[in-house]
Homo-oligomer: A and B are copies of this chain.
Amino acid sequence: MKKKSYLDIYKYFKEKIIVGNLKPGEKLPSLRQISMKNELNATTVLKAYDLLEQEGYIFKILGKGSFVNKNRDFSINLDNKLILERASINKNQEENLIDFSKDEINFIKLINLDLKDIIIKILNLNNNIFEEENLKGSKNLREIIADYLENLDIFISSEEIAVSNSSQQSLNTILKLFFKKKGNITVVVSDPTKYKALNLFKERADVKGVHLLKDGWDFKNFENILKIKKIDFVYESFNYQNPSGIVWSDEKKEKLISLAEKYDFYIIEEDNDSNFYYFKKNPKPLKSFDRVGRERVFYIKDLAKCIHKQIKISYMIIPPMFREHLDLEILNLETTPENLTQKILEYLIKNFFYEENFTKIRNTIKIKYEYMIDRLKKIDDIKLMHNPGGGRSLWIKLNKNIDEKEFYYLCKKNGVSFLPGGLFYLDKRVDSKFRLSFVGLEIKEIGEGLNIIETILKNIKK
């Protein structure tokens, strides 16, 4: 066996510290212990310890030894590790993994188009595509978006629209507008809510959570917050909320806007799902209830989630009074997408955003949805939290007598991945919930994945 180098020793302890096997304040083995056990020079071990100290993992007390540092700002917490782990799953392109965490709808594939063909067509049609430069997106694109939005009962001018690279970038840009006004802001979200939005808010804002009922917020709970504290804005997906799947009633949507006027706060609506209803009529975006001249609603749409994950573009609608500030933030943050990406979106909205296509897509996804619901209902130990009739995910709960962490890791070990509910809660609480997205998988994969889950649940100790 190859003799261990100081880097091996270094990596061994670094990993133990990061994953938490060695806790803050805990003493590391002495140089003598390690060098004897590994048949190494004490200087080799010393070198490893020096490096660990330099990088802030440990500190030394003369005559006492080395200890794990308490201020481990270099290590991220376990929930975040989980998220990163998931993100790196895609990286490795694990062929066998059935990934219920993917929630992008591939509009292009679902209506039998090919992204490569589209790009080549656009390049051949547009001569000046690499010359133009538009901070908020090309005038053309913004007008086409404004026209399209009329289908959703949203009537705005193209000047109120700005595009960016991603919905998180749109959110970040809007956030900056509020932070600029005052340093300390208060944000209210559903508890649970989209974890990336939560992560962004929690960094700098005081975040309050409101309990979700079947038709939207528990307004008693919300008004209690409003009475105690001036809030700056509310963030929510009102139709097929992420992760719960809940659709707000029209009454509650209107009520929220009234409260926004009364208590002087704004609302950020992220709406990626209004189009993806499988039974009833389409639920209306909150923005369609907004009052002209007294606008309270910012509206964000993430096209990477609705068209293709590699078309990284998002648009937002902003109330007129924020317009000038917004332009400045876009300039400073440099979030304008490339012209080519803008042209792709323009081309798709103009030529393919028609009811027939959406109906076709809804019918395809509906089959997956119904299959999921059917299968999940038959699995003991799993409770379906809601039956949303739309959207991209189902929100489920395990029986209390099952160790949810063990379940999660067993599934992963057996090739099935999804998102643990804790990620979506303000306090990251572990309450046996999980989000299973079905829109990114084929029926066959869904079946196999649920088979594996079922088998694991049968054999897990309870």
Contact = CB atoms under 8 A, between A and B. Distances in A.
B80 A181 contact: no
Contacts of A74: 181, 321-322, 324-325
Contact of A168 (B166, B333, B339): B333
A387 interface: no
Interface stretch (A82-90, A238-246, A453-461): A82-90
Contacts of A333: 166, 168-169, 172, 200
A320 interface: yes
B324 A75 contact: yes
Given A322-B74, A325-B74, A165 B334 contact: yes
B55 A320 contact: yes
Given A55-B321, A332-B199, A309 B133 contact: yes
Contact of A133 (B91, B180, B200): B91
A374 interface: no
Contact of A331 (B73, B133, B196, B327): B196
Nearest to A77: B328
A28 interface: no
Interface of A: 18, 51, 54-56, 73-76, 80, 83-84, 87-88, 90-91, 93, 115-116, 119-120, 123, 129-135, 139, 165-169, 172, 176, 179-181, 183, 196, 199-200, 203-204, 293-294, 308-312, 320-322, 324-325, 327-328, 331-341
Given A165-B335, A166-B334, A200-B333, 7 more contacts: A90-B132, A91-B135, A120-B123, A166-B333, A168-B332, A180-B203, A199-B332
Nearest to A91: B134
A165 B190 CA distance: 30
A181 B57 CA distance: 12
Which of A132, A199, A310 has the most chain B CB atoms closer than 10 A to its own CB?
A310
Contacts of A340: 119, 310, 340
Nearest to A115: B130
B181 A204 contact: no
Contact of A324 (B76, B135, B311): B76
A73 B333 CA distance: 19
A104 to B, nearest CB: 10
22 contacts: A18-B324, A73-B180, A74-B321, A90-B132, A90-B134, A91-B134, A91-B135, A119-B340, A120-B123, A130-B310, A165-B165, A165-B334, A166-B335, A168-B332, A168-B334, A169-B333, A196-B331, A196-B334, A199-B328, A200-B333, A312-B334, A338-B338
A382 to B, nearest CB: 28
Contacts of A196: 331-332, 334
A203 B179 CA distance: 8
Nearest to A319: B55
Given A123-B120, A176-B203, A169 B334 contact: yes
B199 A84 contact: no
A229 to B, nearest CB: 15
